[in-house]
Amino acid sequence: MDLFAGCGGFGLGLEQAGFTPIFVNELNDDARGTYIANRKDRHEHFARGLDESKWLNEFSSSDARKMVSKKGYLDGLQKLFKSEFEISHGEIDLIVGGPPCQGFSGIGHRRSYAVEKKILPSNHLYKDMAKIIGHLRPRAFVFENVRGLLTGRWTEEGNTGEIWKDVKNAFAGIGEYTLAAELVYAKNYGVAQNRPRVILVGVRHDVIGKAATTKAEAEHIDGTGISSGFLPKGAPGKAPNIVDVLGDLVDPDYKNGGSTTEYPSKAACETQRWFRTSADGSRLAGKGSPVTEHDYSKHHPDVIKKFKAMIRGGDFEATKKFAQRVLPTEWGPTGPSITATSLPDDYVHFEQPRTLTVREWARLQGFPDWYEFKGKRTTGGLRRAGNPLEGIHFRELPKYTQIGNAVPVPMAKAIGEHLASLLRKGRK
């Protein structure tokens, strides 16, 4: 089960690791539409009875809170799993979820409004995830979130780390699960980003053969994810460079504000061949084959002039954009130093005076080129930020934001492969 699934980065990585998604929960229609659109042809249950205008489906939900508050919903869901997949209570292998993280993010100064974290409804959705896990009793679960969660405070006068403590207590309170947690970095799992993420793993005590973690013990699980064997160590230094990730998409004839609809060159390395392989693995897109989502933003001439100066490394008028910089073609000794967020203009292309296209942004997160995205290309202002001070919590999720919010696919695959191995051992 994929809770707070967004556009499906975590889910896709788990599928690549051998898992089959049976249910998706995501509040935003466009993000949920992206998730289902990329699975309905591969998993028949996602296509059944599908209303593509609203993405309605019995194997999906838009609201985690209604899942736990609506009487009989989770019991009905378990009956559905039994009838459709012959999965009895307690036999779901894995539930994963990354509740919305805007309230915990370390880039809070980029938000339009600052409010106490305690009053943001989305900051309490981890409790709903814990309730769903407690009711369905999967063999394992994974909670994922941003690094800022580790030091977050509910109020300005609160204690550093109090939110993370409450999160750990909520999952330890389920009972019968052994917990471990780790701050991991995407660069150690074959991703062209640094991207730190907090991962909390719970494995049912009868599966792992270890005592369940109590609330008192949950205080001390930080840094135990890898050492306890619940998470893979990764392979530092294996992240591809930017040229390997994006080089074959460089169109020498691109137009400012235009689009490239065909691959301008053939794949030049294994990384590019992977991105260009079809979903079923049978075809490799060659030069001249169709490519989607490769549309360019239309920049003002002065912006283009500045971008050219940035690429050359010369002087230019300082930008007001947060941390806007040119993508490096080579990593330093510690590996990737970038993190793709919801803002596509954080980075300038390494060779051309422009920001990145949706397809390039998706590659930074490890999405293959066959993956399609629903909704607007981009948006801004209240539509993206909302206004919590006035009770406006709805946020649009355009394509760039969907991608920026996702769990990198290769990291999700590595976690999935590791957990699959643990669960297989637990069946013996």
DSSP 48-86: TT-BTTTTB-TTEES-HHHHHHSTTHHHHHHHHHHHHH-
- Catalytic positions are 101
Stated as kind and residue range, the H or E segment containing 204 is: strand 196-204
Is residue 157 left, alpha or beta, with left meaning phi > 0 and alpha meaning psi from -120 to 50? alpha
d(CA 248, CA 89): 48
Whether 133 and 99 have beta carbons less than 8 Å apart is answered as no
Alpha helices in 187-316 (DSSP H): 205-208, 215-218, 242-246, 270-275, 301-312
> 369 φ, ψ to 5°?
-70, -20
d(CA 420, CA 90): 16
d(CA 388, CA 123): 12
Query: 47 is written with which tokens?
Result: 């296509």
Q: How many CB atoms lie within 10 A of CB 115?
A: 12
Q: Which amino acid is at 353?
A: P
